[in-house]
């Protein structure tokens, strides 16, 4: 049986080596399972301690996706089995979100360059993996999104940290609509660093292997950036995407603290002549009203928090989503019964009030229990050790 993650060590010049990790579940669009999280975390730690390894490459098997999300089927089964109504009793969810968020944080704070090949679909859990990489590559096939509103969840895996830092309501728009971004818009928003043609994968690996690496992180990081720029066409990633085209409109509609007005502005695009905006509005209108309120409340709460503190907050909310709100129903309608007729509760934006959403921020464990992610660094560090 093939491993859900394949690991390979490639020889490079100067007696150095490169670690390549491939998510190996193309039949599920490389959806991130608990086994994948654990295998990746363990191997990243091994490569971190190995002085001959100068950088890591992270990619997905197949041409369709880097990673399309997390283990929704496993979480659905665990929610069904947890009949206690208590979030803390869902042991699978506790472990899955703990391990996944730790892996995301490990990537963010990794002391060696990590190149993420964001080819094809990059959504949900895939965004969590790609977000923290030092060198994020998109291609002409990239479709990048946080579509959790359609399954009754919220943009987790550090997604609220990322979206809250995007300019002028853009992050809220992406969270409420699940709008898909192409390479140009990823570059425009700073969600990716380089644009390469998907056909250049083999050439990229060949150049990485033939390059001279020093083993000094700062020097190798700069060298990897130069190598990627050398493969990038002069106008790559500069093509204006739909978000950039509509950026002034999105900012006017979604910036500020008036939740009801923002929702009304997005809903009004249901009849827009532009298909991208129309689709965004349609996703919002068919999505979970509770998830919309939860996304809005979270982006406001985490705006000035460190990454570690955001992950701690998201962990609480994710566990609560397993026993209240629409997460189980959203997965049922989309992936289990596939009727695409979710029965959202609350059913309207008016019912999804600010008072209603506060229940998601209550720690679900006994008072004597410490936060499971309490040992994450209190402030994230960049590759140079400078506090962010």
pLDDT at position 108 is: 98
157-184 mean pLDDT: 97
Per-residue pLDDT at 235: 74
Higher-pLDDT residue of 195, 379: 195
Predicted pLDDT at 381: 42
Q: What percent of the chain has pLDDT over 90?
A: 93
Cα atoms in the 13 Å half-sphere on the side-chain side of 298: 34
pLDDT bin (cut points 50, 70, 90) of residue 1 is low
Q: What is the DSSP string of 317-380?
A: HHHHHTTSSSHHHHHIIIIIS-------SS-STTTS-HHHHGGGGS--S-TTSPPTTTTS-SS-
**pLDDT computed for residue 172 by the predictor:** 98
Task: Report pLDDT digits (tens) over 320-342.
Answer: 999 988 999 999 999 999 999 99
pTM of the predicted model as reported, rounded to 2 decimal places: 0.95
Q: Note the pLDDT tens digit of each residue in 297-325.
A: 999 999 999 999 999 999 999 999 999 88
| Alpha-helical runs (H) found in the chain | 34-49, 72-81, 91-108, 125-131, 159-164, 170-177, 183-189, 201-210, 217-231, 242-245, 247-254, 259-267, 275-286, 289-302, 307-321, 327-331, 354-357
Quote the CATH superfamily of domain 5-361: 2-enoyl-CoA Hydratase; Chain A, domain 1 (3.90.226.10)
Alpha carbon distance 139, 115 (integer Å): 13
From residue 186, how far is each of 120, 169, 237 by CA, in Å? Answer: 13, 16, 8
Q: Where are the domains of the chain?
A: 5-361
- pLDDT tier at 237, thresholds 50, 70, 90: low
């Amino acid at each position: 049986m093939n491993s859900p993650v394949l690991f390979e060590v490639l020889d490079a010049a100067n007696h150095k080596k490169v670690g390549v990790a491939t998510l190996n579940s193309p039949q599920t669009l490389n959806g991130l399972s608990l086994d994948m999280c654990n295998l990746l975390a363990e191997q990243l730690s091994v490569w971190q301690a190995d002085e001959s390894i100068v950088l890591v490459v992270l990619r997905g098997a197949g041409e369709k996706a880097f990673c399309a999300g997390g283990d929704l089927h496993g979480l659905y089964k665990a929610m069904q089995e947890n009949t206690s109504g208590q979030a803390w009793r869902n042991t699978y969810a506790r472990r899955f979100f703990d391990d996944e968020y730790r892996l995301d944080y490990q990537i963010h704070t990794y002391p060696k360059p990590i190149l993420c090949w964001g080819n094809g679909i990059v959504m949900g859990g895939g965004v969590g993996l790609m977000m923290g990489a030092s060198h994020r590559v998109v291609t002409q096939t990239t479709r990048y999104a946080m579509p959790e509103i359609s399954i009754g969840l919220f943009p987790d895996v550090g997604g609220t940290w990322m979206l809250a830092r995007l300019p002028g309501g853009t992050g809220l728009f992406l969270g409420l609509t699940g709008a898909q971004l192409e390479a140009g818009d990823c570059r425009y928003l700073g969600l990716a660093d380089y644009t390469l043609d998907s056909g250049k994968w083999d050439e990229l690996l060949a150049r990485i292997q033939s390059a001279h690496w020093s083993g000094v992180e700062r020097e190798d990081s700069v060298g990897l950036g130069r190598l990627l720029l050398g493969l990038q066409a002069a106008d790559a990633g500069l093509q204006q995407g739909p978000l950039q085209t509509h950026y002034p409109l999105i900012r006017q509609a979604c910036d500020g603290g008036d939740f009801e007005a923002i929702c009304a502005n997005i809903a009004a695009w249901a009849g827009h002549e532009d298909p991208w905006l129309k689709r965004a509005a349609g996703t919002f209108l068919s999505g979970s009203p509770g998830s919309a309120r939860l996304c809005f409340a979270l982006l406001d709460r985490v705006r000035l928090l460190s990454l570690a503190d955001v992950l701690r907050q998201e962990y609480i909310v994710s566990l609560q989503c397993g026993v209240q709100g629409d997460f189980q129903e959203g997965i049922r309608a989309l992936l289990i019964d596939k009727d695409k007729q979710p029965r959202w509760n609350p059913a309207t934006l008016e019912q999804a009030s600010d008072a209603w959403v506060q229940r998601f921020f209550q720690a679900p464990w006994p008072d004597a229990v410490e936060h499971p992610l309490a040992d994450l660094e209190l402030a994230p560090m960049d590759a140079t050790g400078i506090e962010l």
